Amino acid sequence: MVLCTWNGARWLPSLLASLRDQQRPPDELIVQDDCSDDATVDLVDAFAPGAGFPVRLERNRVRLGSTQNFGVALARARGEVVALADQDDLWYPAKLARVAEEFAADPTVTMVFSDADLIAEDDRRLGQRLWSTRMVGRGLNSNSVVTVRDFARRPLTTGCTMAVRRRAIEAALPLPRQLDHPEAPLRHDRWLSLVAASVGTVRAVPDPLLGFRVHATQETGVLVDGERGRAFVRAARHLAGGRSTSEEHEVRAVQLEVAADRADALGDFESARAVREVVAHHRHRAAVSRGQTSLVAVAAEARHGRYGTDHFALAAVAADVVRATRRG
């Protein structure tokens, strides 16, 4: 298991206790601390002797940020399967056992991720699931295998729900520097998902295997209750209001091109081809954002299904139609 920490003292004890209570305990816990200045490191040090499994804590000399910190931690992990943990979550006792079962049952599986219950700051369950609040539940529930094309289109999972087989980790490391772009970062979990789907099968487990904590300071956001409506309004304004997203699309195209190159180098030509189709789509959308593409081109892109087929796709087509019409 790898756990990346940064000033996580508030919820870390709950997480660590939940790791100790796993029915199938981890073989090792790699903790990579990213220059915390609270009690995080002391808490890990105090936890280690009674953990029941080796805890290997290392502190970065300079702050790396979440993605690169995970890159360092993953490089230190030695397990055949590596599960990722966030410092603020709560793992249910069966999580590791269930994940291990999935890997054991099918050697082609390179990554397993699950749904999660949303929990409040006081550990209370909020009655909602992670997948549904991110609006990806319908797709994941209908097909429990997720392809590289799906991951190239949009992020479908978050690190703390994931476990990855060693050969996918080896293929994913080192994390490319292009991931850390300030305008459009591509996080470690999406990169790992892309690579894992390239080099094997990614299984989505619909059961909630952990509590995903919703709080103001988390890096991975979810849309709960009224926030969802407000986020839609913000997104609509952002997209239709003409504010340029062209750079974001260009950046994403470059990042995905790196993923395609890596797939090519490993001989995953099919995956590379699928990712490059999404790269071309991002370049199309960048051109739309710059006002360089006609309505006809948007219609053609939509007709060929390159926007996808879900409600995100519908919103994207609508926004691009507005932009292309405005250009006309």
Partner 1 sequence: MTRLHRIRVLMCTDSLAVGGAERVAVDLANTLDRDRHDVTFCATRAGGPLGALLSADVEALVLGRAATWDLPKLVRFAGWVREREIDIIHTHGRGTMRFVTLARALGRIRSRHVFHDHYNWLHVDRRAGPALARPLQAVDAYLGVDSRLCAWARDTAGVDPGRIHLVRSGVDLTRFASVRPTDLRREIGAADDAVLLVMVGNLRPQKDHPTLFRALHLLTPEERDRIRVAVIGSTSVDPDYHAGCVAMIDRLEVGDVVHLLGSRDDAPALIAGADAGLATSKNETGPLVVLEYMAGGLPFLATDTGEIAHAVRDLGVGWVTPPRDAGALAAALRELLALSPEARRRMGRRARAEVAAHFDQRDVTRRVEGHYRAVLGLGGDVEGDSQPRALAL
193 binds partner 1 (CB under 8 A): no
Q: Return the range that interacts with partner 1 (CB under 8 A); candidates 3-11, 22-30, 199-207, 220-228.
A: 199-207
SS3 163: strand
d(CA 34, CA 65): 7
Query: Per-residue string for binding with partner 1, 216-255, x by CB under 8 A?
Result: ----------------------------------------
Q: Which residues pair with 117 in a beta bridge?
A: 129, 211
d(CA 231, CA 103): 37
Residue 313 beta carbon to partner 1: minimum distance, rounded to whole angstroms:
19
Element at 110 (helix H, strand E):
strand 109-119
To 5 degrees, how large is the angle CA 192–CA 195–CA 116?
Answer: 40
199 binds partner 1 (CB under 8 A): yes
269 binds partner 1 (CB under 8 A): yes
CB 297 within 8 A of CB 327: no
Phi, psi (deg, nearest 5) at residue 144 = -80, 5
Q: 21 vs 101, which CB is nearer to partner 1?
A: 101
144 binds partner 1 (CB under 8 A): yes
Taking the mean position of all CA atoms in its chain, how far away is CA 242? 28
Query: Per-residue string for binding with partner 1, 110-139, x by CB under 8 A?
Result: x-----------------------------
* Pairing state between β 55-59 and 109-119: unpaired
Q: Return the range that interacts with partner 1 (CB under 8 A); candidates 98-106, 249-257, 280-288, 301-309.
A: 98-106
Residue 140 beta carbon to partner 1: minimum distance, rounded to whole angstroms:
11
167 binds partner 1 (CB under 8 A): yes
To 5 degrees, how large is the angle CA 204–CA 156–CA 105?
Answer: 20
145 binds partner 1 (CB under 8 A): yes
CB 276 within 8 A of CB 252: no
**Residue of the chain from 54, 93, 107, 241 that contacts partner 1 (CB under 8 A):** 107
201 binds partner 1 (CB under 8 A): yes
Q: Which of residues 14-43 bind partner 1 (CB under 8 A)?
A: none
CB 204 within 8 A of CB 145: yes
- CB atoms < 10 A from the CB of 243, how many? 9
Residue 274 beta carbon to partner 1: minimum distance, rounded to whole angstroms:
11
**Residue of the chain from 273, 283, 290, 306 that contacts partner 1 (CB under 8 A):** 273
Binding site for partner 1 (CB under 8 A): 101-102, 105-108, 110, 142-145, 147, 167, 199-201, 264, 266-270, 273
